[in-house]
Structure 1
Amino acid sequence: MKTQKKQFVTMFCTLILSAVSAVAQSNGSKSQIVERVIHSKNFEGNKIGVSADRRLAVYLPAGYDGSSKRYPVLYFFPSPIDGYQTLFDKSGAQALFDRAIARGTVRSFILVSVDMTTPLGASWFVNSPVTGNWEDFVVQELVPYVDANFRTISARDARGLVGQHMGAYGAIRIGMTHADVFGSVYGMNPVGTGSGVQIMDSRPNWDLLAHATSLDEVKKDGFSAIFTSIFQAHLPNPEKPPLYVDLPAHREGGKLVIDSKLTARLRDSFFLESMIPQYADNLKTLRGFKFDWSRNDAIWDHVYSNQAFTHKLNEFGIMHEAEEYNGLWDADPYWGAEGRVIADVLPFFQQHLEF
């Protein structure tokens, strides 16, 4: 009987939310995307030309302008392969969010998509003397700016983090280190959770990195660019231009020689699974924590490392959800009309955000 009553209440609330959304849209109060720029002090003196002007695209739900209501906020970190506007310009996120709210899948929310990229791509969401203080930017500048300039519910339980690929790494990492600021986290197909099938040092072109005279040369090789960005974040050396890193390996006589101390330092700093012992108690305070990954990820290291990551979280007693879905390699599983954002991500935040 209690179950039937609960189902009736849920159905009734869904109908009410749908009706309210329909009224708001019929009154001409549609959702909107607004652009903002934050001039940050956290990138002064960086070594690689990171702009101090960080750009945001902000989704405001239907009815925002016509009311005094306050809303929870989702902070979205895209993959650096995409731009911070891509989810709206190419992936149809605005219409998707509108539809989810109208259906009652999730109540109205604000979403902030943030440009967290460096000239080589990923910032990896850490403070670095080479790339700037990205973690401090998020916590000390981004969140206060959004709370001051939009009608937010300025409380930890009303803030969620969500990211895709490298952005998912950032969402989980920031959620680990700042569970006092963000209450729930969803990582969409994260990378960097732990060791892969191949060792990290098998990926870059070490001869290229050893002899590069500029960052532009490194950009010509995809894996070399990605791993240089990792080294700039986690093995930075401001005294070693043009890459400003300590390289954890080099080739000698055709053989790969690995520096054990630098590799240990890199693993401890970079891999999310290495951070679990230190931040386990933080993670246990989250209202919700979920990540997923595609069984058919073209880089199988991601499948392997995410499977291991959920096991290690379990070893430390950290409540979370982890799902390996049967995604296809040639299709976007997240942003379609019936993709995982509307089917899984938004319902997750409906359950765990404070509205």
Structure 2
Amino acid sequence: MISIPIRAVVLLFLTAFTPPLLASAADSQVVNREWRSACLAQNKIGTDPVRKMAVYLPAGYDSPGSAERYPVIYYFPMASDDYRLLFDKQSAQPLFDRAIARGVIGKFILVSVGMNTPLGPSWYTNSSVTGTWEDFMVRELVPYMDANFRTIANRDSRGLVGDRIGGYGAIRVGMRHPEVFGSVYALHPVGTGSGIQIMHARPNWDILWSAKSIDDVRKDGFSTLFLTIFQAHLPDPDKPPLFTDLPAHKAGDQLVIDTKLTDRLRDSFLLETMIPQYAENLKSLRGFKFDWGRSDGNQDHVYSNQAFAHKLNEFGIPNEAEEYNGSFGERNWGEDGRVYTDVLPFFQTHLIFADTAVSILKP
């Protein structure tokens, strides 16, 4: 007689009778997609209308016969980051998997999309020079996701989150389109309001006014960044090579500011100037939070976010604003990072995870 250890018998028994579903549930996945945008096809600076995106799908999405639908989080990365960086370098996929497995958040879809022009950030607005980025987001990307993935196609089940310049975009798009997005989280947003220095103190105006091509501006980082702002908010398609109205110039050592253009720029660009117009939209959101690191090397960001939070309060707009002990772009990823500890729990609270949501703006 052959003697079989009792532990081996138990193991054989468990293996034989383990339900197949326990062993075959599909893993999460990140899929790549492309979309040719009609909104971005007409531009003056060579913006590629083919936009690439990476889509996180939770475990079980491809299980046979599954009809489950999921809320969607739209992610805007920092403008200097590739749209796939969170998956390729920051281990977002296993982080999301752990958060779901541990109950930090229910199952969700996340899409990260490239929103940059050839020069830098698009600033998420419609421009006759760089493309109609806001329309691309609202009229093309969201319908594409709803048509091609099992989403809960409802504002209460859509969230926006962005990192730094992406955080600016999340607030801007969210405040203008609460009928599309119900919750907004901005990680260390910029462009929220006036800083310690005036905006016109940053660019090199000699470079901007003498430029014979956009490439002439690329030699200076701040000038390049502010040219993207001007092209987005002071566009002029009939003024090559920069295709913008420049709101200041140098006269010797003196900076001469164009008052009317600066007023237009502030009204269009700074989020604080948009609060009175979109206060009711912001009040209708299911959740609104932003944060910033108090040790940011550019204290303009700290000052402007503090002031932005105060102005939101003055208009009675519910918000969560948090200044934490960190610097620009720090402490976002990993299990002790703010995405895991703050962003995902925020969306667990404010998104609707069941496919029974009714799209009603809060009174």
With the length of structure 1 as denominator, give the TM-score of the two structures: 0.92
Task: Give the aligned partner of residue 9 of structure 2.
Answer: none
Task: Give the aligned partner of residue 343 of structure 1.
Answer: 341
Deviations 1:39-74 (A, max 9, x none): 011112200000110111000001100021000000
SS at match of 2:101: helix
1:55 to 45, 52, 56: 52
Task: Give the aligned partner of residue 16 of structure 1.
Answer: none
Task: Give the aligned partner of residue 33 of structure 1.
Answer: 30
Task: Give the aligned partner of residue 12 of structure 2.
Answer: none
Cα 1:227–1:24 change in 2 (3 A) is farther
1:78 equivalent in alignment to 2:71: no
Deviations 1:314-334 (A, max 9, x none): 0000001000000146x7310
Are the counterparts in 2 of residues 24 and 63 from structure 1 also a CA contact under 8 Å?
A: no
SS at match of 1:51: coil
The whole-number CA distance in structure 2 between the counterparts of 1:24 and 1:84 is 34
Are the counterparts in 2 of residues 292 and 324 from structure 1 also a CA contact under 8 Å?
A: yes
Unaligned runs of 5+ in 2: 1-19, 354-363
Task: Give the aligned partner of residue 332 of structure 1.
Answer: 330
Deviations 1:164-192 (A, max 9, x none): 00000000000000001000000000000
**Cα distance, 1:337 vs structure 2:** 2.5
Are the counterparts in 2 of residues 76 and 161 from structure 1 also a CA contact under 8 Å?
A: yes
The whole-number CA distance in structure 2 between the counterparts of 1:87 and 1:289 is 22
Deviations 1:226-269 (A, max 9, x none): 10000000000111111101000111112111111100110000
SS at match of 1:162: strand
SS at match of 2:137: helix
The whole-number CA distance in structure 1 between the counterparts of 2:170 and 2:238 is 30
| AA matched with 1:33 | V
Are the counterparts in 2 of residues 24 and 30 from structure 1 also a CA contact under 8 Å?
A: no
| AA matched with 2:91 | G
| AA matched with 1:148 | A
Deviations 1:327-346 (A, max 9, x none): 146x7310123111000000
Task: Give the aligned partner of residue 170 of structure 2.
Answer: 171
What are the equivalent positions in structure 2 for 1:1-355 lying under 5 Å apart? 26-66=23-63, 67-328=66-327, 332-355=330-353
Cα 1:103–1:131 change in 2 (3 A) is same
The whole-number CA distance in structure 2 between the counterparts of 1:25 and 1:305 is 51
SS at match of 1:49: coil
Which structure would you say has the larger Rg? 2
Deviations 1:64-116 (A, max 9, x none): 00021000000000111001001111111101101100110000000000110
The whole-number CA distance in structure 1 between the counterparts of 2:167 and 2:26 is 32
| AA matched with 1:335 | W
SS at match of 2:43: coil
Are the counterparts in 1 of residues 297 and 327 from structure 2 also a CA contact under 8 Å?
A: no
The whole-number CA distance in structure 1 between the counterparts of 2:69 and 2:46 is 37
SS at match of 1:120: coil
Deviations 1:102-155 (A, max 9, x none): 110000000000110001110001100000100000010000000000000000
Are the counterparts in 1 of residues 58 and 97 from structure 2 also a CA contact under 8 Å?
A: yes
| AA matched with 2:132 | N
Cα 1:103–1:78 change in 2 (3 A) is same
Are the counterparts in 2 of residues 47 and 131 from structure 1 also a CA contact under 8 Å?
A: yes
Are the counterparts in 2 of residues 197 and 304 from structure 1 also a CA contact under 8 Å?
A: yes
The whole-number CA distance in structure 2 between the counterparts of 1:180 and 1:206 is 40
Cα 1:149–1:249 change in 2 (3 A) is same
The whole-number CA distance in structure 2 between the counterparts of 1:153 and 1:186 is 19
| AA matched with 2:178 | A
With the length of structure 2 as denominator, give the TM-score of the two structures: 0.90
| AA matched with 1:351 | T
Percent identical residues: 66
Are the counterparts in 2 of residues 50 and 119 from structure 1 also a CA contact under 8 Å?
A: yes
What root-mean-square deviation, in Å, do the aligned CA atoms of Structure 1 and Structure 2 show? 1.2
SS at match of 1:310: helix
Are the counterparts in 2 of residues 25 and 63 from structure 1 also a CA contact under 8 Å?
A: no
The whole-number CA distance in structure 2 between the counterparts of 1:131 and 1:38 is 17
The whole-number CA distance in structure 2 between the counterparts of 1:205 and 1:328 is 26
Cα 1:26–1:96 change in 2 (3 A) is farther
The whole-number CA distance in structure 2 between the counterparts of 1:64 and 1:286 is 28
Are the counterparts in 1 of residues 78 and 164 from structure 2 also a CA contact under 8 Å?
A: yes
